[in-house]
């Protein structure tokens, strides 16, 4: 099932939009304008630019991936409902029924977690029992869970300002928040490929890594109190964080997706679940495209990180452990793409490489924090 169309001129792309395309675009422009008017006092010039740049990006995504529109509308509705129910008073999180049990940041993220666990079970039931109903249920649960989690992050952003105007910040500053972000990005990437290739049979594998991330964030939240909103440490009080971290996690999410599809590929090659999973060529294509996207975003994130380092520490690169391992991750996937595109390598070798690549990436993100120290030690466990 193709979502994209052959290359067209910009005027051709615009001419082929229908009424709903333009209404969707208008809604995004109006929403951005409302955000600028309503919250402009809390935003600097960089926030304004980030917001305005997101409008054409989200329009393009919604034009070429129709289900994204409903998702975005649901997130907007849930987020605005949460803001309205708070009425500027954080104490209402424990007083108002819908905030306490549904759409405060913490409860929304808990719903996300529960729905992702249920989706994982539904996908596996659908895969093993050859049940289309199970697969559809898994897909629906992922969509709902992703909407809840995304709305939860937006609610948390608003709640941080209710804690105190000087405390308010985008919720991507600690391991709890970025693991929520990782789960959401990986889920959205998977949902795109699910529709793109017209199969839900990869979901059982991709949801395993998402459920693992959710399990970690739940442990981290309740063992370390990370779900409590804290002021930003000085090292993170920078506009660079707002672009570096999300870009980085698009890369991480894509790499995780490729690894789990690689696991499915290896099982198919060994004749395990071969009749239940997509053909090897489909799995290989998804694996390649996910790594290509992840590599592109990870490259951009690395450049943004270097610019941030130059501003913060006066140099672009210091061979800090985090920087060194980021370079190792980049070289790993650069070599993967090189071997596929120029040497024609295919099949089992690349699948194993994708799986091992996720282990390397995981160490770069978590292992460095746990076992090594350096300038990025503010992110340790």
3-state per-residue secondary structure call for 175-186: HHHHHHHHHHHH
Find the mean pLDDT for residues 286-308. Answer: 95
Record the tokens describing residue 300, joined without a space: 């951009």
Q: How far apart are the C-alpha atoms of 289 and 51, rounded to whole Å?
A: 27
> 193 versus 375: which is more confidently predicted?
193
pLDDT score of 5 more than 80: no
Residue 12 pLDDT > 70, yes or no? no
pLDDT for 144: 98
What percent of the chain is modeled with pLDDT above 90?
72
pLDDT score at 41? 83
Mean pLDDT of the chain: 91
71-109 tens-digit pLDDT = 999 999 999 999 999 999 999 999 999 999 999 999 999
Residue 336's Cβ-count burial label (10 Å; 0-12, 13-18, 19+) is buried
- Does position 6 have pLDDT exceeding 70, yes or no? no
Helices (runs of H) and strands (runs of E) counted in the chain: 14, 0
pLDDT of 76 reads: 96
Lowest mean pLDDT among 114-118, 217-221, 237-241, 346-350: 237-241
**How does residue 378 score in pLDDT terms, banded at 50, 70 and 90?**
low
pLDDT band at 373 (very low <50, low <70, confident <90, very high): low
CB-based contacts of 351, cutoff 8 Å, min separation 6: 262, 263, 265, 266, 269, 283, 284, 287
Q: What is the pTM of this model?
A: 0.93
Of 103, 32, 43, 80, nearest in space to 242 by CA: 43
Residue 15 has pLDDT above 80, yes or no: no
């Amino acid at each position: 099932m193709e979502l994209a169309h052959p290359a067209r001129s910009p005027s051709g792309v615009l001419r082929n939009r229908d009424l709903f395309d333009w209404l969707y675009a208008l809604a995004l422009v109006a929403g951005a304008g409302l955000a600028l008017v309503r919250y402009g006092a809390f935003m600097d010039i960089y926030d304004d630019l980030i917001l305005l740049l997101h409008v054409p990006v989200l329009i393009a995504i919604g034009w070429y991936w129709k289900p994204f529109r409903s998702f975005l509308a649901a997130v907007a509705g849930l987020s605005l409902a949460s803001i309205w129910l708070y009425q500027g008073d954080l104490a209402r999180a424990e007083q108002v029924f819908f905030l306490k049990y549904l759409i405060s940041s913490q409860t929304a993220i808990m719903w996300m977690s529960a729905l992702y666990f249920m989706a994982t079970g539904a996908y596996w039931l659908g895969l093993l029992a050859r049940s289309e109903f199970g697969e559809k249920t898994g897909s629906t649960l992922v969509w709902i869970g992703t909407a809840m989690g995304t709305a939860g992050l937006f609610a948390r952003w608003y709640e941080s300002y209710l804690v105190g105007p000087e405390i308010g910040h985008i919720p991507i500053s600690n391991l709890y928040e970025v693991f929520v972000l990782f789960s959401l990005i990986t889920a959205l990437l998977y949902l795109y490929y699910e529709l793109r290739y017209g199969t839900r049979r990869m979901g059982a594998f991709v949801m395993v890594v998402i459920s693992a991330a959710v399990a970690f964030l739940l442990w981290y939240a309740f063992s370390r109190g990370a779900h409590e909103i804290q002021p930003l440490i000085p090292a993170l009080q920078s506009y660079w964080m707002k672009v570096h971290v999300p870009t980085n996690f698009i890369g991480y999410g894509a790499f995780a997706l490729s690894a789990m599809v690689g696991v499915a590929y290896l099982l198919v090659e060994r004749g395990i679940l071969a009749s239940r999973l997509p053909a090897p060529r489909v799995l290989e294509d998804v694996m390649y495209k996910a790594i290509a996207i992840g590599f592109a975003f990870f490259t951009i994130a690395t450049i943004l990180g270097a610019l941030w380092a130059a501003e913060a520490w006066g140099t672009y690169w210091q061979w800090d452990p985090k920087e060194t391992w980021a370079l190792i991750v980049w070289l790993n996937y650069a070599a993967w793409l090189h071997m596929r595109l120029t040497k024609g390598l295919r099949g089992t070798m690349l699948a194993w490489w994708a799986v091992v690549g996720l282990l390397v990436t995981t160490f770069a993100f978590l292992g460095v924090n746990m076992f090594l120290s350096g300038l990025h030690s503010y992110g340790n466990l």
